[in-house]
Amino acid sequence: MNKPSRVLTIAGSAAGGSAGIQADLKTFQELDVYGMSVITAIVGRHPETNKNVHPQTVEAIEAQFATAKMQVGFDALKTGMLFSKEVIEKTAELIAHSDIKDIVVDPVMVGKLDSKLLKDDAIEALKEKLIPLSTVITPNMTEASILLNDRPLNTVEDLKQAAIDLHDLGPDFVLVKGGRLTGPAIDVLYEGTTLTTLEAPRINTVNTSGAGCTYSAAITAYLAKGKSIHDAVVFAKSFITTAIEHSFSYTELVGPTYHAAKRKYGEAHQIIVNSEEI
C-alpha cells in the first residue's frame, strides 16, 4: 500500500469545530494525508467565568509531539495558534531538532470572534525564533501589518511590498493573504525573485470562521504530497475558495467553511495566477 504522507498540526483546539486543530484535521482528511495534532491551548468560552483560552502546559505539548513522532513521524508540519512566548520557543526547539521538510507557519493572532490567540510579548519570539525556520509563512493583512511594526496595508501593491519585506525575517517563501481587500480576494506569494498574485472571486458571506487555518492546512497537505510551493498555494486557494462558497452557519454566530465542498461538489474554483520576476 502507498501510505499517505504524514502531517502534524501544532495549534489550538477550537471547540466549535470550524477553526484550529479541528479545521486542520478535517482538511488533512479531505486531501488524503495522515493528520496528527499537538494541542497548545483549548479555546472555548466559559458561560460564567468568560475565560476563553485554556492553555496546555509545555510538558503536555512536548508529550504530544514525542508520541506522534515515535508512533508515526512527520513529512510536514504546520503551526497555528501558539499563544505564548514559551510555546513558540518550545515549538521552534522541536522543529530545529527535527528534519521535517516542510514547515508552514500561520502566524495566528486574532480569531474571527475576536478571541485573542497570541499574547503581545510573543510577537518578537515568533519573528526571531520560529519564522526563520519556516518554509512559508501565511499572514493575513492584519498579521502582516503587525509583523511589519504596524505598517498600514491597503492595496495589492502594499501586499507585494509586505511579502518582499517579510521575506527578510527568514522564511523561504511568504504568502500574504488579501482576504480583507475590497474587490476580489487577491493573495501575494513571494518566492525570493518571483512575485505571484492569486485571484479568486469575493464570495459574499460572513461564514469564514477558520478560513485561514483551512488554507494553511491545505498548503501543508499539498507540500507533504510533493507539490511545489507555487502549486501547493494555487491548489490550496482553490480548495478554500470552494469551501467558502459552500460555507454555512447553524446559529446566528459566524459559521464554518465547508471542508468537504470540493469532494462533495466535485469542482474546484479556478484561480487567476499571474507571476512576475523582480
Nearer to ligand PXL among residue 117 and residue 224 (C-beta): 117
As a whole number of angstroms, the distance between CA 17 and CA 19 comes to 6
Residue 79's φ and ψ, nearest 5 degrees, are -115, 145
Binding mask 163-192 for ligand PXL (x = CB under 6 A): ------------------------------
| Total residues in contact with ligand PXL, by rule CB under 6 A | 17
User: Which one of 12, 139, 171, 255 is in contact with ligand PXL (CB under 6 A)?
Assistant: 12
Nearer to ligand PXL among residue 42 and residue 156 (C-beta): 42
Shortest approach of ligand PXL to residue 53 CB, angstroms?
A: 9
Nearer to ligand PXL among residue 148 and residue 213 (C-beta): 213
| Touching ligand PXL, residues 47-86 (CB under 6 A) | 80-81
Query: In terms of DSSP bridges, do strands 6-14 and 34-43 run parallel, antiparallel, or are they unpaired?
Result: parallel
- Applying CB under 6 A, the span of 184-192, 205-213, 230-238, 256-264 interacting with ligand PXL comes to 205-213
205 burial level (CB within 10 Å; 0-12, 13-18, 19+): middle
**Sheet strands side by side (includes 53-55):** 53-55, 34-43, 6-14, 76-79, 102-105, 136-137, 173-178, 185-190, 194-200, 272-277
Q: Give the chain's length.
A: 278
Q: From 150, 160, 167, 196, select the one nearest 181 (Cα to Cα).
A: 160
Within 13 Å of residue 8, how many CA atoms lie on the same side as its CB? 27
Task: Say whether 89 sits in a helix, a strand or coil.
Answer: helix
Shortest approach of ligand PXL to residue 99 CB, angstroms?
A: 27
210 belongs to the binding site for ligand PXL (CB under 6 A)? yes
Nearer to ligand PXL among residue 118 and residue 195 (C-beta): 118
Query: Which residues form the interface with ligand PXL (CB under 6 A)?
Result: 11-12, 14, 19-20, 43, 80-81, 108, 111-113, 115, 117, 210, 212-213
